[in-house]
Amino acid sequence: MVHQYKLNGYNIVLDVDSGSIHLVDDLVYEIVSLYEKSDRDGIVHALSDRFDHDDIRSALDDVQELVDQQKLFSRADYAARLFDGSRSGASVESQSKEQYSLIESPSCPYGDLATSYRKDNDIIKALCLNVAHTCNLDCSYCFAGQGKYKGEQALMSLETGKKAIDFLIECSGSRRNLEVDFFGGEPLLNWQMVKEVVAYARSIEKETGKHFRFTLTTNGILIDDNVIEFTNKEMHNVVLSLDGRPHVHDRFRVDIGGKGSYARIVPKFLELVRRRNRGTYYVRGTYTHLNTDFLNDILHMLDLGFREISMEPVVCRPEEPYALTDEDIPIIKAQYEKLAEEMLRREREGDPFEFYHFMIDLEHGPCIYKRITGCGAGTEYLAVTPSGDLYPCHQLVDDPSFKIGTLDDGVTELDLQNEFRKCNVFARDACRDCWAKLYCAGGCAANAFHMSGSLLGTDKFGCELFKKRIECAIMIKVAKAVASTT
Amino acid sequence: MSDKKRIITLPTRKLIDADGRDGCGECQTSCQSACKTSCGVANQQCEQERD
């Protein structure tokens, strides 16, 4: 499969199955669009009114060379190799189609591959610890329902936190790198417990042969020197919630009394980042129908001094007044394009910044298994409530029908887990013919469920935005490659 | 970056010639990062490469 597009003056051709990316001139761009519809003479004839015959034939030779190298119009014939069990540490061959014939995809064997890979590696390596089902802000757009997830306020006990660490180690098999995200609600409302859980995990890293990577996601209200010092020492990543301009941030991110939080948190975020010594962080915003000009919010974050930024579309019921609409899509796409141009401009001027959704690692990015097996919700990744219940994903904690087990009993709802095991890039009809599938791995199961009522449905809105973000991300790579040669 | 007359091909990880080390599972879980409400995998580093 080939995807071709023009952006910021570049003609870009993606060969999906091989992962190849080509910057081409106008003639090759036209040839690629005709290649599978016409033979050589037909292409020459179709383009002869605009291009020289010799040029067309020469360009056709260049295109054919890429085809011969399996860098253009390639077929995913690596499936056979992956299926034959040659991958180290797993015998895919022994247990795929008969035992786990969960996906009918005769034209696309990767569906079985992805499913069997999940079964083959039935281990858990990441937990989202909802350490506080309560919050000191009252943000009306919060998917977690002001931290309570439609339940009662609750804090996770130290005993439960330690039990979660033990559970993760026990279920992680041979995996060395384990991830724990302190989430909520607002995790700083249970800060002492967070610190003690981190200390406990660190104390058994050596004897268990594990390496923990912790992440803290916070609204910032309770950040103080102690939090900054501990976070910057122990947290692999820290996510700081800021929506951008003061009036945008304070529209939703208010305290119980309705007062905006911008003025209280920004100085704290700045101090935490200043003392982070280049450690990873993200200032993470949410944009809604009410600020589809969110580029201005990103620019505001840059003006404040932040350089690692994430900005996400709001997740909410479509009937909410701030929900994004179909009419917003072209506006949002244009914002992403302008953002990409701004990133390139600042890079040229020596003041670069990172935008999470434009980060793409072409040379050292994920392998084919990662690209086809989805996000891992319900299989390698679980969310833990304050009482120790297990859910497939933090976005599904508000729905008791998704309770998948407990820390005491492990995963007990195996049928439900199998539903998540099926959530891979080839399980969704809309994904099979999508050029972006190996960049998104099938997308977010929770968003698909909330938008379509099915885990195997599609969040069409999210897909549209994702594809635009990837087009922008690749364009940035192309522009940098060109700049490096001139 | 390979350079042809009319085509510039960016260096990318080979997917077709996946080697035996693929699928080790040590890389970051997709959602365990800056997003939490939408996910992709393109931005994630391979731990094999990192090591």
The answer, for A217 touching chain B at a CB cutoff of 8 Å, is yes
Q: Which among A179, A296, A177, A182 has a CA at the least distance from the CA of A244? A: A296
Which has more confidence, A105 or B33?
B33
pLDDT of residue A82: 42
> Residue B22 is nearest to which of A17, A367, A381, comparing CB atoms?
A367
Amino acid at A462: G
The answer, for A168 touching chain B at a CB cutoff of 8 Å, is no
Note if the bond before A350 is cis, omega within 30 degrees: no
Cβ contact, residue pair A364, B44, below 8 Å: no
Q: Which among A364, A3, A36, A71 has a CA at the least distance from the CA of B7? A: A71
List chain A residues with CB under 8 Å of B49: 363-364
List chain B residues with CB under 8 Å of A310: 34-35
| Sheet architecture: strand order including A20-24 | A2-7, A10-15, A20-24, B7-10, B2-3
Residues A190/A131, Cβ–Cβ less than 8 Å: yes
Whole-angstrom Cα Rg for chain A: 24
The answer, for A438 touching chain B at a CB cutoff of 8 Å, is yes
The answer, for B51 touching chain A at a CB cutoff of 8 Å, is no
> Residue A125 is nearest to which of B25, B38, B50, comparing CB atoms?
B25
Residues B44/A366, Cβ–Cβ less than 8 Å: yes
Alpha helix stretches (DSSP H) within B1-51: 47-50
The DSSP 8-state label assigned to residue A178 in this structure reads: E
Residues A26/B14, Cβ–Cβ less than 8 Å: no
Cβ contact, residue pair B22, A89, below 8 Å: no
Cα A328 to its chain centre, rounded Å, is 21
For the residues B15-38, what does the mean pLDDT come to? 71
Say how many CB pairs under 8 Å bridge A and B: 230
Give the strand pairing for A381-384 and A126-133: parallel
pLDDT of residue A115: 58
Best A178, A307, A370 residue to mutate vs chain B (most B CBs within 10 Å): A370
**Percent helix, strand and coil across chain A, each rounded to 5?**
45, 15, 40
Residues B46/A365, Cβ–Cβ less than 8 Å: yes
Q: Which among A177, A176, A208, A180 has a CA at the least distance from the CA of A195? A: A180
Side-chain half-sphere exposure of A334, counting CA atoms within 13 A: 8
List chain A residues with CB under 8 Å of B14: 18-19
> Residue A126 is nearest to which of B12, B29, B44, comparing CB atoms?
B29
CA-based max dimension of chain A? 76
List, as ranges, residues 3-42 from B with C-beta within 8 Å of A.
Answer: 3-18, 20-42
State the Cα–Cα distance between residues A160 and A484, nearest whole angstrom.
52
**What is each CA distance from A260 to A145, A244, A254, A267, A296, in whole angstroms?**
18, 13, 4, 14, 19
Q: Which among A372, A62, A33, A100 has a CA at the least distance from the CA of B41? A: A372
Tens of pLDDT along chain A (486 residues) come to 999 999 999 999 999 988 999 999 999 999 999 999 999 999 999 999 999 999 999 999 999 999 999 899 988 644 444 444 333 333 333 333 332 333 333 344 455 555 555 555 678 999 999 999 999 999 989 888 878 888 999 999 999 999 999 999 999 999 999 999 999 999 999 999 999 999 999 999 999 999 999 999 999 999 999 999 999 999 999 999 999 999 999 999 999 999 999 999 999 999 999 999 878 899 999 999 999 999 999 999 999 999 999 999 998 888 999 999 999 999 999 999 999 999 999 999 999 999 999 999 898 888 888 888 778 899 999 999 999 999 999 999 999 999 999 999 999 999 999 889 888 777 777 887 899 988 988 888 898 898 889 998 888 889 999 999 999 999 999 999 999 887
Burial class (CB in 10 A: 0-12, 13-18, 19+), A54: exposed
The answer, for B2 touching chain A at a CB cutoff of 8 Å, is no
User: In residues, how long is chain A?
Assistant: 486
Cβ contact, residue pair B1, A374, below 8 Å: no
> Residue A177 is nearest to which of B5, B26, B43, comparing CB atoms?
B26
State the Cα–Cα distance between residues A145 and A138, nearest whole angstrom.
9
State the Cα–Cα distance between residues A7 and A472, nearest whole angstrom.
8
Q: Which among A187, A145, A164, A155 has a CA at the least distance from the CA of A388? A: A164
List chain B residues with CB under 8 Å of A21: 9-10, 12
A437–chain B nearest CA distance, Å:
9
List, as ranges, residues 24-53 from A with C-beta within 8 Å of B.
Answer: 24-25, 27-28
Can you give A99-130 as a three-state secondary structure string?
Answer: CCCCCCCCCCCHHHHHHHHHHHCCCCCEEEEE
| Pair of tokens at residue A126 | 């990441």
The answer, for A166 touching chain B at a CB cutoff of 8 Å, is no
List chain B residues with CB under 8 Å of A367: 13, 15, 18, 21-23, 46, 48
pLDDT of residue B11: 94
Cβ contact, residue pair A481, B30, below 8 Å: no
B51–chain A nearest CA distance, Å:
11
State the Cα–Cα distance between residues A480 and A21, nearest whole angstrom.
13
What secondary structure does DSSP assign to A12-57, as a single string? Answer: EEEETTTTEEEEE-HHHHHHHHHTTTS-HHHHHHHHTTTS-HHHHH
Residue of B nearest to A383 (CA): B32
pTM comes to 0.91
Whole-angstrom Cα Rg for chain B: 15
Residue of B nearest to A392 (CA): B31
b/e code A417-436 from CB counts within 10 Å (16+ = b): bbbbbbbbbbbbebbbebbb
Best B3, B6, B50 residue to mutate vs chain A (most A CBs within 10 Å): B6
Residues A130/A394, Cβ–Cβ less than 8 Å: yes
State the Cα–Cα distance between residues A176 and B7, nearest whole angstrom.
42
Cβ contact, residue pair A239, B34, below 8 Å: yes
pLDDT of residue A121: 61
Cβ contact, residue pair B17, A361, below 8 Å: no
Residues A298/A244, Cβ–Cβ less than 8 Å: yes
